[in-house]
A and B are shown apart, each in its own frame.
Chain A
Amino acid sequence: MKKLNEKITVILAVVVVALLAAASWYSVTFNDRRLVDPMDFSAYEFRVQDLPMIVSIALFVLYVLYLGVLVVRAIIANKLRAEGSKTTRKLNPKLGLLGFAGFLGFSGFWTYSAFHAVSPFVFFAFFGFFGFFYEGRMSNTFMDERYEENRARAELTAHRTAISITFLSLLLLNLNAGALLGSLEYTLIALTILISLAIALDMFLSEYLLYRYDCADQTDGGGED
């Protein structure tokens, strides 16, 4: 049943993307690129030729909403399962690859130069998703008292490191009345980057240290006697 649902989701994605591509091609070829190129919607007048693009965009939005519902349902199901069991949540270590999304933070340099927008710098926090690699390796582990102790130790170390970095950043950037880097805007950018990286480090270290504390002893030749 789960496999069937996954297949349906993938097929729907292919259909929606294909429809969007076909509608875009139609608009570019026969409809003056309407709804493909940016338009002034205050002066928009409906044409029948716009229908393929409108329908495909509506389907795309519906599909994204459907994906959102699936994600929320999965999160709730995972939480309910975690509350009722004594094992860690099931997670594929390959989700650690989401950490590469942290490189999106570099887009902040472009958005700042083009639109003076600094918010994309927060994407640096996504580097913390590399921690999913270690969480995945500890997937479905029975949480006994040693696990809980190791988790508390790992989280404490990670939080202390992140807070120390944040505090030192604040201290350094506040030198010279917050204009250490020449202007308050640059200081804001530096602070956004440093805090995002501190959050990423916190997320990553919590999982990495837990894995190291919990699994280090299993590799030192400890077997059954």
Chain B
Amino acid sequence: MPDFECRLKKYRQLKELTQEQLAQQVGVRRETIMRLEKAQYNPSLKLAVDISRAVEAPIEEIFLFP
């Protein structure tokens, strides 16, 4: 289980995006976004960058590693 905090849900809701819309924008399944928001999946650097661009927030504010 990845050991990090994920604030994706907060930034996604700020951008008024549904999980499905965000998933389509970054080219993954909705289930992957769901897992990311629960910090149950450690994304690749590319996916993290894509998400960061989609929600217009810095990576280090979305994914918090101890």
A147 and B29 contact, CB distance less than 8 A: yes
CA distance A51 to B40 in the complex (A): 70
CA distance A223 to B20 in the complex (A): 11
B35 and A146 contact, CB distance less than 8 A: yes
B29 and A146 contact, CB distance less than 8 A: yes
Interface: A40 (CB within 8 A): no
Q: Which A residues are in CB contact (< 8 Å) with B34?
A: 217-218, 222-223
CA distance A218 to B41 in the complex (A): 13
CB-CB nearest in chain A for B44: A145
Residue tally, chain A, CB below 8 Å to B = 13
Q: Which A residues are in CB contact (< 8 Å) with B29?
A: 141-142, 144, 146-147
Q: What total count of A-B pairs have CB within 8 Å?
A: 40
CA distance A146 to B36 in the complex (A): 10
Within 8 A of A (CB), among B1-53: 9, 13, 18-20, 27-32, 34-35, 38, 40-41, 43-44, 46-47
Q: Which A residues are in CB contact (< 8 Å) with B41?
A: 146
CB-CB nearest in chain A for B23: A144
Interchain nearest-CB distance for B55 vs A (Å): 15
Within 8 A of B (CB), among A144-170: 144-147
B35 and A144 contact, CB distance less than 8 A: no
Interface: A6 (CB within 8 A): no
Q: Which A residues are in CB contact (< 8 Å) with B19?
A: 224-225
CB-CB nearest in chain A for B43: A145
A144 and B28 contact, CB distance less than 8 A: yes
Interchain nearest-CB distance for B22 vs A (Å): 11
